[in-house]
């Protein structure tokens, strides 16, 4: 069990003003795997004060110093890969192989990518008689989710360090243990006191307080769309910069000249990775009616072999939901899908037959989906794939864009240029063409109710910068 009884403020581990604790539950066996302190508004004030003082120095630090710290951060994450991966698997239920690769490997690469960006980034430019200067925005607050906990943290912390900002992190209470390991790493690399501060606790109290706090210049939030609305409202009085990475209901579109075998195989991966608990999951599969039986039959066969169980087992593909609350939510969506007339072709209600503990649901697939169905419209955040069919590609595009969200998407076609043209018409922040891989140097973020602002790459760095124009 990991027991953390202190917060990290101003380069030191300090007692929280409250004696309350949050217990972290392993969703696989329902046992307590850790405890963290509950921070208060007073602790937030201390962290903001520390970050404000540190900004005076860190904002003027050399680019070489920032590069060094980011490379050290990446190296330390690499050294602690197994500890971090096992910790995240115990908190979230992510299969251990995926934890190593995505939950730890990606944050390591992201940290290093910002060191690389800084080597050539232009901080000033001349435009006629003006000098355009880019400066760090100031003290930043980060509120992060449980599903990709370390990745979502590093996606904010690394560009903030690169920009010369200081920060306060409030990690998810469901999966906070990895954030405490990160704070230990940051202490080891000697980042100046106050640049990074960790205050754990309940979002309803300190999350809202961070958003409202007049001493914070920017807040970056990742989570549900409803929670993002609340953050925006709380931040509005101080007119601070707000970036939001919110929900998704992303379309995976197979054009008529696609390879059905590849589409079916990759549709499962695109929807079920991290047990479906992914904001950018490709949860709506849109396929030609003439290929629907072929693709659906392949999916059913492959889902029957999609192993569900202990995420510490190297062979497991689908772990549990993060909590009993999430398990109940996903189960209710499956129930609603059945009641509204969706055709269940895999999975369904109840725990997988071989399991009797943990917050598991069955990997589930529906066909015969209509656009007025709840499971077509709402983000489920679990391993539930819905399949709709189309007669022509104009209809396919209408279906793809039939969502209040716009975070991710995919297109499949044997004609790459045709697929790219279709992708350009999708109202979403990123699109994978024929299985194009995730790129940590490309901007990530959403259209519509999937949020605003971008993370990763140069675009992610510039979210943390103010622009000044000096006329001469």
How far is residue 180's CA from residue 199's CA, in Å, rounded to a whole number? 10
* Active-site choice (271, 279, 318, 379): 279
Task: To the nearest 10°, report the CA torsion of 28, 246, 221, 266.
Answer: 50
Q: Please, how many CA atoms are within 13 Å of residue 137, restricted to the half-sphere of its CB?
A: 22
Q: Is 245 a catalytic residue?
A: yes
CB proximity list for 390: less than 8 A, separation 6 or greater: 286, 287, 288, 289, 396, 399
- Given 91, 174, 208, 245, the catalytic residue: 245
What is the phi/psi pair of residue 310, to 5°?
-60, 115
| DSSP string over 104-151 | IIHHHHHHHHHHHHHHH---EEEETTEEEEEEE--EEEEE--SSSHHH
| Edge-first strand listing for the sheet containing 251-254 | 343-346, 364-367, 384-390, 284-288, 251-254, 409-412, 432-433
Using CA atoms, how far apart are residues 134 and 462, in angstroms rounded to an integer? 9
CB atoms within 10 A of CB 290: 10
Runs of H (alpha helix) within 242-388: 260-272, 292-303, 324-339, 374-377
Instruction: Please report how the helices 81-92 and 149-163 are oriented relative to each other, as an axis angle in degrees rounded to 10.
Output: 130
**Is 140 assigned a catalytic role?**
no
316 contacts 360 by C-beta, under 8 angstroms: no
Largest pairwise CA distance in the chain: 74
* DSSP summary character for residue 437: P
Question: For the chain, how many residues are written?
Answer: 472
CB count, 10 Å around CB of 382?
A: 26
What six digits make up the tokens of 462?
């510039």
Q: What phi-psi label fits residue 448: left (phi over 0), alpha (psi between -120 and 50 degrees) or beta? A: left
- Residues serving a catalytic function are 245, 279
């Amino acid at each position: 069990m990991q027991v953390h009884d202190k917060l990290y403020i101003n380069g030191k581990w300090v007692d929280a003003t409250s004696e309350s604790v949050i217990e972290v539950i392993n969703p696989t066996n329902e046992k307590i795997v850790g405890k963290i302190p509950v921070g208060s508004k007073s602790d937030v004030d201390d962290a903001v004060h520390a970050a404000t003082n540190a900004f005076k120095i860190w904002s003027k630090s050399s680019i070489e110093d920032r590069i060094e710290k980011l490379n050290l951060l990446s190296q330390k994450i690499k050294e602690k890969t197994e500890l971090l991966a096992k910790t995240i698997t115990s908190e979230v239920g992510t299969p251990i192989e995926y934890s190593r690769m995505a939950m730890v490997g990606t944050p390591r690469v992201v940290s290093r990518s910002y060191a690389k960006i800084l080597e050539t980034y232009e901080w000033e430019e001349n435009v006629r008689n003006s000098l355009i200067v880019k400066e760090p925005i100031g003290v930043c607050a980060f509120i992060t989710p449980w599903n990709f906990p370390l990745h979502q943290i590093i996606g904010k912390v690394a560009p903030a360090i690169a920009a010369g900002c200081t920060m306060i992190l409030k990690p998810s209470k469901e999966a906070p243990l990895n954030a405490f390991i990160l704070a230990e790493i940051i202490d080891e690399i000697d980042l100046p006191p106050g640049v990074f501060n960790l205050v754990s606790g309940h979002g309803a109290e300190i999350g809202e307080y961070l958003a409202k706090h007049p001493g914070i210049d920017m807040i970056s939030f990742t989570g549900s769309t409803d929670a993002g609305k609340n953050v925006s409202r709380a931040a509005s009085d101080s007119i601070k910069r707000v970036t939001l990475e919110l929900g998704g209901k992303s379309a995976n579109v197979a054009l008529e000249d696609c390879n059905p075998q590849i589409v079916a195989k990759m549709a499962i991966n695109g929807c079920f990775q991290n047990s479906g608990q992914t904001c950018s999951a490709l949860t709506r599969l849109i396929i030609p009616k003439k290929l629907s039986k072929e693709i659906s039959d392949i999916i059913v066969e492959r889902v029957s072999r999609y192993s569900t169980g202990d995420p510490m087992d190297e062979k497991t593909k689908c772990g549990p939901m993060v909590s009993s609350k999430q398990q109940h939510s996903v189960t209710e969506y499956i129930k609603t899908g059945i009641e509204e007339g969706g055709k269940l072709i895999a999975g369904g209600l109840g725990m997988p037959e071989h399991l009797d503990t943990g917050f598991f649901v069955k990997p589930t697939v529906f066909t015969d989906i209509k656009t007025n169905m709840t499971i077509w419209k709402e983000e489920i955040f679990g391993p539930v794939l819905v399949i709709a069919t189309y007669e022509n590609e104009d209809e396919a595009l209408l279906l793809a864009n039939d969502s209040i969200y716009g975070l991710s998407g995919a297109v499949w076609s044997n004609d790459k240029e045709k697929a790219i043209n279709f992708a350009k018409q999708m109202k979403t922040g990123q699109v994978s063409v024929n299985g194009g891989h995730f790129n940590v140097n490309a901007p990530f973020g959403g259209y519509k109710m999937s949020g605003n602002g971008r993370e990763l790459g140069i675009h992610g760095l510039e979210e943390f910068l103010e622009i000044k124009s000096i006329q001469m």
